[in-house]
Structure 1
Amino acid sequence: MPVPVTMQTFGVLLVGALYGWRLGALTTLTWLGQAAMGLPVLAGGANGWVAFAGPTAGYLFAFPLCAALTGWLAQRGWNGQRAALAFAAMMLAHVLCLAAGGAWLAQFVGMEQAIALGVAPFLVGSVLKSALATVTLKLIASRHRDNA
């Protein structure tokens, strides 16, 4: 499988939801910049410019957009105070990530293989990570409300 299973999207979407669209996207870009400079911050310690040219680069390029989408929706009430909407925001961002990643991967292995190797295996994980991110947001929102 050319695409590793990680918790990266969980982190990216949570950063977007917590920081808002601008800071979430900027934070994600900063993290990717660290990878581009050679820091081993991607899955499996991957780093350097080669990570942005290989089969998984489409997912990396989608990350700031996913953080921005989740943040934008969270700022409009799709957040921890409305769990169903927060879950929908996380799922939409996962769909964006899988679509961009799969489209890029298709340039290397063809569309059928890209769907089989880079999209389908991650659908259940996307649902689970979206649910976990939603629960995390809800807990943070309730804790923030309790401390206010």
Structure 2
Amino acid sequence: MKPPISVRSNGVRLLMVAAGVAILALSSRAQVPMEPVPFTLQTLAVLLSGMLFGWRLGLLIVIAWLAAGAAGLPVFAGGLGGWQRFLGPTGGYLGAFPVAAAAAGWLVERGWNGRRPVHACAAALIGHAVCLLPGTLWLSTFVGRNEAVANGLLPFIPGAILKSVAAVAVLMLVGRRK
């Protein structure tokens, strides 16, 4: 099955990657400052990259965004950039983002889409779990297991549920336009 937004032209794909990187950068700016991990809209944008464009293009978008951040562009939370972000407390979340985009996109391509909202929500929740679990494990090496769960996992579960519902709404809207 095709993703909701199917692109054949390489030129259009390149534009989609650039637009996806810009949207991810903007989603990083929408944040609620928390320590040691801020609450942002990054996971919504990451998951929608895969869910809307398919697992391959979604993966490419997220990798391009991470590469821009690693190169020092201010595309991460708080307008930060630099490869050091991958070695800090949020590195596990960043490293999991490509896998989350690919997993959610892969599920959508297999029918877990806007025509099946419960399945699409499950795909988004799985994508969030793919982000939160390795992120929390990595964070635990900095702050300990209990604090990582208390501050790097549990506060993000309600947001993951809300962002999953939002992702389904977007999928349903895009599906209606076809």
Q: TM-score, normalised by structure 1?
A: 0.95
* Alignment-derived partner of residue 109 in structure 2: 75
Read off the aligned partner of 1:114 and give its amino acid letter.
A
Following superposition, the deviation at residue 102 of structure 1 comes to: 0.1
| Matched-pair identity in % | 52
Question: Does residue 88 of structure 1 match 2:118?
Answer: no
Following superposition, the deviation at residue 22 of structure 1 comes to: 1.2
* Alignment-derived partner of residue 173 in structure 2: 139
Structure-1 separation of matches of 2:113 and 2:52: 9
Structure-2 separation of matches of 1:57 and 1:23: 22
Give runs of ≥4 in structure 1 deviating > 4 Å.
none
Read off the aligned partner of 1:106 and give its amino acid letter.
S
Question: Does residue 116 of structure 1 match 2:150?
Answer: yes
- Counterparts of 1:42-57 in structure 2 under 5 Å? 42-57=76-91
Structure-2 separation of matches of 1:132 and 1:29: 23
Structure-1 separation of matches of 2:152 and 2:50: 23
* Alignment-derived partner of residue 9 in structure 1: 43
Structure-2 separation of matches of 1:96 and 1:66: 5
Task: Could you tell me which runs of 5 or more consecutive residues in structure 1 were left unpaired when the two chains were aligned.
Answer: none
Is the partner of 2:40 in helix, strand or coil?
Answer: coil
Structure-2 separation of matches of 1:99 and 1:41: 23
| Residues paired across the two proteins, number | 144
Question: Does residue 101 of structure 1 match 2:135?
Answer: yes
Structure-2 separation of matches of 1:100 and 1:80: 27
Read off the aligned partner of 2:120 and give its amino acid letter.
A
Task: Could you tell me which runs of 5 or more consecutive residues in structure 2 were left unpaired when the two chains were aligned.
Answer: 1-34
Is the partner of 1:41 in helix, strand or coil?
Answer: coil
Is the partner of 2:39 in helix, strand or coil?
Answer: coil
Read off the aligned partner of 1:2 and give its amino acid letter.
P
Is the partner of 1:135 in helix, strand or coil?
Answer: helix
Is the partner of 2:59 in helix, strand or coil?
Answer: helix
Read off the aligned partner of 2:51 and give its amino acid letter.
A
Following superposition, the deviation at residue 128 of structure 1 comes to: 0.2
